[in-house]
Structure 1
């Protein structure tokens, strides 16, 4: 029996693929805001609160399942309609190596003083 996602792919997201440039000999990544629109499932696991050296932050994590795309890599970012931008924290998994579905985890760090 082959893999089928549990949740429907109803969440619209933008895939932000980095563009690498070298400025004064230092590599710099920029993420253009006009990324491709993709659809997937987006499941959050709540935030993890941290207080390090007096700096309070919350790390939101989520798991995304979507259609397989070879251009989704671990250095990309995902932007939701709300404006929240998440970075991919692991190499996306090509489920059952069938080039049909993929799964990966993302995180967003936000906080203040």
Structure 2
């Protein structure tokens, strides 16, 4: 039987595609510099961030430095695609906020 954390993380993982769609819409609304960034790139970043969030929740501790290599690679990719670093940072926060909102919603479901 799943415990609460495993059930929530499984549900979060199942909702990754929706989180990516929400994040993509918010980023495009707030950050014009993302106009030429393919959805697949944002989706890949969200997938990596959801996996990192799940691992962090299950471990109950801050992720190790080496586990954030995907975020570093994604940030570098966005800058190379012409997105200003401040917008990259804002885009990251938008994605993390969407993951956090989903977690809060999942915790609210009995």
Q: TM-score, normalised by structure 2?
A: 0.25
Greater helix content: 2
Greater strand content: 1
Point out the structure with max Rg over C-alpha.
1
Q: TM-score, normalised by structure 1?
A: 0.24
